[in-house]
Amino acid sequence: MAESTKKSKYEELEKKLSYASKNIWSEADKKTVDAIHAYAELYKAFLDRSKSERLTVQWLVGGAEKRGYRKLSKVTKVKPGDLIYALNRDKNIVLIKVGSKPIQEGINFIVAHADAPRLDLKQIPLVEDTEIALLKTHYYGGVKKYQWLNIPLALTGIVVTKDEKRVEVSIGFEDDDPVFVIPDLLPHLAKKAQGEKKSGEFIQGETLNLIFGTVPVKDEKVKEKVKLAVLQRLNEQYGIVEEDFISAELQAVPAVKPRDAGIDRAVIAGYGHDDRVSTFAAVTALFDVEKIERTAVAFIVDKEEIGSDGPTGAKSLFIFNTIGEIIEKTTGECTDSTLRRAMERSTCISADVNAGINPMYKSVHDEKNAAKMSHGVVITKYTGHGGKYMANDADAELVGKIRNLFNRNGIFWQYGGMGKIDEGGGGTIAKYFAFYNASVIDCGIPVIGMHSPYELISKADLYYSYRGYRVFLEQC
């Protein structure tokens, strides 16, 4: 007798009553799989060019202008359907598609960050030691210092000279460029200097120095011959002198290209997925939205990795002022209460990555409440640490609204929080938008190996973050 394919009564009941997220690759048809891979190619091209917040913003301005977005400062009158962008110190960009409803009735925001952990150069970085010129760094954000040793690093950023000219520096991204390396200690001699120390202590911040040059000038009268030779080269190539480093922002970032990872090419390895992956998904979602009622905004912030302070961080009034300017240019005036009301009637997705389960370190997660790679974009009610300290804690009504929005539109999504209770923790910009009394929820994709120089994400999750953000902008 053939086995019955009919589900038993309790199997059916289980399907009806239980929650389980699904593996996208098991569910998706051929057309969807093709769309996932095609979108991933666009993202890889973006990520390869966007290795700093400045470069990210530059790329986004190019994309926006190509699509007809106009700079807010050059626009005098704003009307429904307009495409506008505003810049802040070349590190923030706000992209706006004006909806048919008045802005005062609220905005759909997606906020992501373009800064990523890295090694900034110190303001007086150049030293010579044992006939080697070194560049001293100060790490930025939550880095595990040992991960940055003996990997190829590129230098990117700007130098402001004594006549306040801005010189752009970019060395290490092209195949024939030199790269910079911080050398680790050989294992043969590391027994005491490293082996007997805790992992957080065996690499000191002050040892994260790049080897910058080794050829001296030929002059016995000069004390630091290699340093001088390097300064001479910099002066010839960039017109800069040592004092100019003081007014520079230069960062060392991994000189690695995003690559497909795994035999099935379903994963992307790359530097800076946190949070350029949400940046890309948010902005491309905005580019692709069609008719909208509520004004849609993608806002890219800086300084998230170090606490969101500073004028380009999420705590700055830049977004508040920009929305005020939009209202003013729409209606002819903008009172304080109109602006406040527009902000508090808004809904915001805090688009940031989540900790995906790493099979080698499962124990740090509560598996049932953790994000799995390839299971879709992650909804997170709260982040924070300890007893939910510092959390935005989205209200149940908002979580319900987003969950149902995604379900109605066939978006693969999953629930995920940040690790086991008391295992550690982390935050996002959600709470800084909640400050305006806006409704804010965290929603981004799982990353494995987060904050490392070569993070991993699933192409399927990436695609469904884009799709999810788009339905949010169109329908929320």
Compute the least distance from the CB of residue 264 to Mn ion, in Å: 27
Q: For residue 306, report the phi and psi dihedrals to the nearest 5 degrees.
A: -125, 25
- Tell me how far, at minimum, the Cβ of 351 lies from Mn ion, in Å: 9
Closer residue to Mn ion, CB minimum distance, 117 or 324: 117
State the Cα–Cα distance between residues 208 and 143, nearest whole angstrom: 12
Complex with Mn ion: residue 325 or 352, whichever CB lies closer: 352
In the list 115, 275, 455, 474, the residue contacting Mn ion (rule: CB under 5 A) is 275
Cβ distance to Mn ion smaller for residue 81 or 307: 307
Site for Mn ion contains 115 (CB under 5 A): no
Per CB under 5 A, does 352 bind Mn ion? yes
CB of 341 to Mn ion, least distance (A): 30
CA distance 128 to 118: 23
Asked whether the beta carbons of 448 and 274 are under 8 A apart, the reply is: no
Non-local CB neighbours of 316 within 8 Å, separated by 6+ positions: 88, 92, 310
Within residues 173-202, the interface with Mn ion by CB under 5 A covers none
Cβ 167 vs Cβ 240: under 8 Å: yes
Count of residues binding Mn ion (CB under 5 A)?
A: 3
How far apart CA 225 and CA 434 sit, in angstroms, is 55
Least separation in angstroms between residue 457's CB and Mn ion is: 12
State phi, psi for 457 to the nearest 5 degrees: -135, 160
Region of 101-109, 204-212, 214-222, 269-277 interacting with Mn ion (CB under 5 A): 269-277
**Residue pair 472/110 in contact by the 8 Å Cβ criterion:** yes
- Nearest-approach distance from CB 278 to Mn ion, in angstroms: 8
Which range of residues in 96-104, 324-332, 340-348, 351-359 is near Mn ion by CB under 5 A?
Answer: 351-359
Cα–Cα nearest to 470, from 413, 428, 409, 429? 409
Q: How many CB atoms lie within 10 A of CB 268?
A: 23
Among 274, 302, 442, 474, binds Mn ion (CB under 5 A): 274
By CB under 5 A, tell whether 393 contacts Mn ion: no
| Shortest CB 394 distance to Mn ion, Å | 17
Binding site for Mn ion (CB under 5 A): 274-275, 352
